Structure 1
């Protein structure tokens, strides 16, 4: 049976310093759930609390509604994959994977161990290397050993702490795809920690974006990207332009005033405050449209960067603000620095936030923070 992980008002302190204040969260059975955030946000601390490596100063962590706070790490039935692999250099691939099974409280027969290890080596695609020592394998192959060793013991929960950070860029992409496929095949509840937003979006069923020990947004990768709950999430996930503009109302009809020449009527707001006010808005670079006949928001191209599929532009608006724009590359149509252009925006893609609270007032935000 797959395991549900629940966090009920969990607190972590170091002396008088509270680094995780009363955090609540639910990870669903068989879910690939990622804790995402900048360095120091508390994501690895929370993972180590689940593993039993860090103490819990308040609240409860439960597996299938059974509290594990007082359980020792070896009694929690977890598998863990570390950033540095932590495999035994003097043991072959096969013996590395076998190690955990041979040292379990419930002893298995030699035949059962052989069968489980052979199956797991097939799952992670390292059977052909079974008699090699780790030093003779690539980083990606070593990480597959670590993954196989963690899963072969059939843990209730798989914990992964920045498992791809030591790999080069191409291998990271290959391994994140492999990890996602293996997790789905095995069906184990997985809690994954990373600071890499692209990695998180590629592998996760859901993501919790953390900052300063608090969860800012819990949702699917698509929802977090397109409808961030607040300005921090909008800035952290992907690339965006955060600018301030006046939000005007005529009754319940909302209009964003970009400049004297361009206004956008919004049908996507979730607010009962119909007072004209300054708000913060998030516009992703790909959501700008360079308009024909220079219609829309006026700006001057400062520079361009051709990156194959897309071309990136930095554009200075008439009020002095700079925005980043990404356009699909077309043959012979790169806009040169110094050119004045008009910009339009896909209105349904704009995210609007209250100025002081920086919380979204845009329809479609799905935030499962408890």
Structure 2
């Protein structure tokens, strides 16, 4: 059980419209791999191509060394979990889970053994004789997951499996899914538009836009050093500020308006673009600002604040009129008041600097 999925130059077209243009990626054996992106980016289309539900207009999909382009869906040995659960309302929990095994002509004693085993893995053995209508949404999703993995598939495909659950249950279930996936060790391809969910469960994430992978990496890599402005703004929250990157005597510094200049190391500008002054876009996440009172940095005015326990979110207006969001650890002192003047500096080792088009990250890897 579990395979490496190799996708080479994959193309998907609907008529004259190309929705996935020559996509290549390799998903490792046993990996929890997430396709993340906004609606219409091609993530579900790619998942359905792996499943065999969508045609392929170019390229190949391999399970290990076997090309599966023309293999029927039912012969690909995949398990699938959908957002609407798709469990049979007329069968009990154990009846639903046993269904795929029965289709494989397995003996009744072996079916009973496998069903009991998977019921324990997904922690719903106490509900084995219940009908689906008597289960909560989370319990139904566990049934769907159990049914998908009890057949020992080579690949588990999951399409927005938590979107129908309420916020707290989504958190509980995403933790359960990750734990179960680790226990069974199955190669998993997971589709979601929820970036927090993707960050929580994934070994690696492919952030997609218009059928193209914009950034492929671990959750930490994608959050800390997003490849472009699209990824930076899609993963987490960030503020995009225009400025200039200055290069003098082998040293770089950022000019961010109002005379605020910040030395910055770890910058890698291609030689073809090297100039003494470059216009850039600077991505500063809310937690990457420092609030100061000593008139050092960018002058700003507090608009309002949101107290959230450990952290307080401030929304401030820069002198340019741009509004930015700042996150600071809550202190015992009183909150800063609307209308109060503060000064902002950035944490230069944390921020990301992009070319003016927002397509190329000039910032090197995070120094751990």
Q: TM class by shorter-chain length?
A: over 0.9
Aligned to 1:368: none
Output the CA distance in 2 between the equivalents of 1:2 and 1:171: 28
Residue 176 (structure 2) aligns with: 178
Tell me the distance in 1 between the aligned counterparts of 2:17 and 2:333: 58
Deviation at 1:259, TM superposition (A): 2.6
Asked if the contact 1:280–1:358 (Cα under 8 Å) also holds between the matched residues in 2, the reply is no
28-37 or 287-296, larger mean C-alpha shift: 287-296
Following TM superposition, by how much is the alpha carbon of 1:295 offset from its aligned partner in structure 2, in angstroms? 2.1
Q: Distance in 1 between matches of 2:318 and 2:135?
A: 53
Which residue of 2 is the match for residue 336 of structure 1?
337
How far is the alpha carbon of 1:246 from its aligned partner?
1.1
1:318 matched to which residue of 2? Answer: 319
Q: Distance in 2 between matches of 1:307 and 1:52?
A: 46
Indicate if the aligned counterparts of 1:89 and 1:134 stay in contact, CA closer than 8 A. Answer: yes
**Whole-angstrom distance in 2 between the partners of 1:227 and 1:335:** 31
Deviation at 1:52, TM superposition (A): 0.7
Q: Structure 1 segments of 4 or more deviating over 6 A?
A: none
Query: What's the CA shift for 1:187?
Result: 0.1
The equivalent of 2:45 in structure 1 is 45
Larger mean CA deviation between 54-63 and 257-266 belongs to 257-266
Q: 3-state DSSP class of the match of 1:347?
A: coil
Of 155, 158, 165 in structure 1, the residue corresponding to residue 156 of structure 2 is 158
* Number of equivalenced pairs: 363
Shift of 1:356: 2.8
Corresponding residue of 2:120: 122
8 Å Cα contact 2:229/2:358 also seen in 1: no
Counterparts of 2:4 and 2:112, CA distance in 1: 30
The RMSD of aligned alpha carbons is 1.1
Match of 2:306 in 1: 305
Give 3-state SS (helix, strand or coil) of 1:146's partner. helix
1:289 is matched with 290
SS of the residue 1:303 aligns to: strand
Q: Does 1:226 align with 2:224?
A: yes
Distance 2:47 2:359 in 1: 28
Residue equivalent to 2:80:
80
Higher deviation after alignment, 204-213 or 304-313:
304-313
Asked if the contact 1:308/1:329 (under 8 Å) is kept, the reply is yes
1:211 aligns with 2:209: yes
User: Is 2:266 the counterpart of 1:268?
Assistant: yes
**1:89-127: CA deviation from partner (whole Å, max 9, x where unpaired):** 0100000000000001xx322111111000000000000
Residues 8-64 of structure 1, C-alpha deviations (whole Å, 9 max, x = no match): 000000000000000000000000000000000000000000111111110001100
Tell me by how many angstroms 1:167 deviates.
0.1
Q: CA deviation at 1:357?
A: 5.4
Structure 2: distance between partners of 1:6 and 1:113: 32
- Give the drift of 1:2: 2.5
8 Å contact kept, 1:251–1:274: no
TM-score (norm 2): 0.97
Unpaired stretches in structure 1, ≥5 consecutive residues: 366-370
Moved more, 235-244 or 322-331: 322-331
Distance 1:6 1:333 in 2: 55
- Point out where structure 2 has 5 or more consecutive residues left out of the alignment: none
